[in-house]
Amino acid sequence: MKHLILIQCKDRVGLVYLITHILSKHNLNITAMREFVDESDKHFFTRIEFSGELQSEQSLQNELKEHLPDGTSITINPKPEKKIALLVTKEHHCLGDTLVRHFFDTLNAKVCCVIGNYDDLRPFTERFGIPFYYISHLEKTKEDFEGEILTVLKSHQPDYLVLAKFMRILSPGFIDHFPNQIINIHHSFLPAFIGANPYRKAFERGVKLIGATAHFVTNDLDEGPIIEQQTIPVNHTFGVPEMVTSGREIEKSVLSRAMQLVFQDRVFINGNKTIVFE
């Protein structure tokens, strides 16, 4: 039997030994282990894959809790397949890539629904038998708009929301419902070109590369913990449309990589940074 444990706590001497000792007492064999200490705030993170007969997750959890520092967070065998909801506007490339991966069971997640503030992507979504909810932001307050989205989400209970090119800024109130559970793809190498129209800004600045960033959403616009970033070269022949076209390729690549890492429980959040055990 394969198992996974995630631990984060204040750092102190001997943590690796302590944890491996407890696993050993339970006759559990470590098959892969990654650990990291953030020296700036003395925080310890570890992700351990192990095998063996685990009699009781609860008793292992209790034993670890007893010996580890106060405030330690321990997760044993997190849900292997996350349930996710996708929020979209009109751009199709991230949705398309995600639903194909989903169809062929390579997403490490179950897409429970797609919500669009335009109806454009309904035909594609429904082709895969996934419910599509069209919730326009027009002619209503942001509160009402987000309220309608929340109603849909409550009925589906997703583990994560993925903003797959969702072009509306969510309110703090909305985001508070999903702490560390919202993943966004931003079409620039943050912190360059925060906010709207990054390709236009990139064009006007005359940069020689463009990028994409997947990050958790917090209440600071485009300032949440970064999960993954990539760039590709551009040159003087690229107008905004060419940047948009080329940019789509890395947006897809960065978002799918970020989802894979998060859904495989390889990403820890520490303040506005991530620890990624690839």
- Report CA dihedral (20, 21, 24, 29) to the nearest 10 degrees: 10
The single residue among 4, 10, 35, 181 that binds a second copy, judged by CB under 8 A, is 35
The single residue among 207, 243, 244, 259 that binds a second copy, judged by CB under 8 A, is 207
Q: Is 237 exposed, middle or buried (0-12, 13-18, 19+ CB in 10 A)?
A: exposed
Dist CA 8 CA 97 (whole Å): 33
Dist CA 253 CA 229 (whole Å): 9
**Residue number, 114 or 153, with CB nearest to a second copy:** 114
Contact between 209 and a second copy per CB under 8 A: yes
Stretch that binds a second copy, among 29-37, 66-74, 133-141, 157-165 (CB under 8 A): 29-37
**Residue number, 92 or 137, with CB nearest to a second copy:** 92
Closest by CA to 161, choosing from 74, 224, 68, is 224
Contact between 264 and a second copy per CB under 8 A: no
**Residue number, 82 or 102, with CB nearest to a second copy:** 102
Binding residue count for a second copy, defined by CB under 8 A: 61
Stretch that binds a second copy, among 57-65, 69-77, 171-179, 208-216 (CB under 8 A): 208-216
Q: Are 171 and 199 spatial neighbours (Cβ–Cβ below 8 Å)?
A: no
Known catalytic residue at 222: yes
Stretch that binds a second copy, among 13-21, 108-116, 143-151, 173-181 (CB under 8 A): 13-21
How many helices, marked H, and strands, marked E, lie in the chain? 8, 13
Contact between 133 and a second copy per CB under 8 A: no
Contact between 228 and a second copy per CB under 8 A: yes
Q: Which candidate in 11, 144, 220, 222 is catalytic?
A: 222
Closest by CA to 86, choosing from 95, 77, 78, is 95
Per CB under 8 A, contacts with a second copy among 86-115 are 92-93, 96-97, 100-101, 103-104, 106
Phi, psi of 44 (to 5 degrees): -110, 135
| CA dihedral sign of residues 194, 200, 204, 208 | positive
Phi, psi of 7 (to 5 degrees): -130, 135
Contact between 239 and a second copy per CB under 8 A: yes
Q: Is-cis flag, bond preceding 191, omega within 30? A: yes
Contact between 131 and a second copy per CB under 8 A: no
Binding residues vs a second copy (CB under 8 A): 13-14, 16-17, 20-21, 23-24, 29-31, 33, 35-39, 92-93, 96-97, 100-101, 103-104, 106, 124, 127-128, 189-193, 205-209, 211, 213, 225-231, 235-237, 239, 245, 249, 253, 272-276, 278
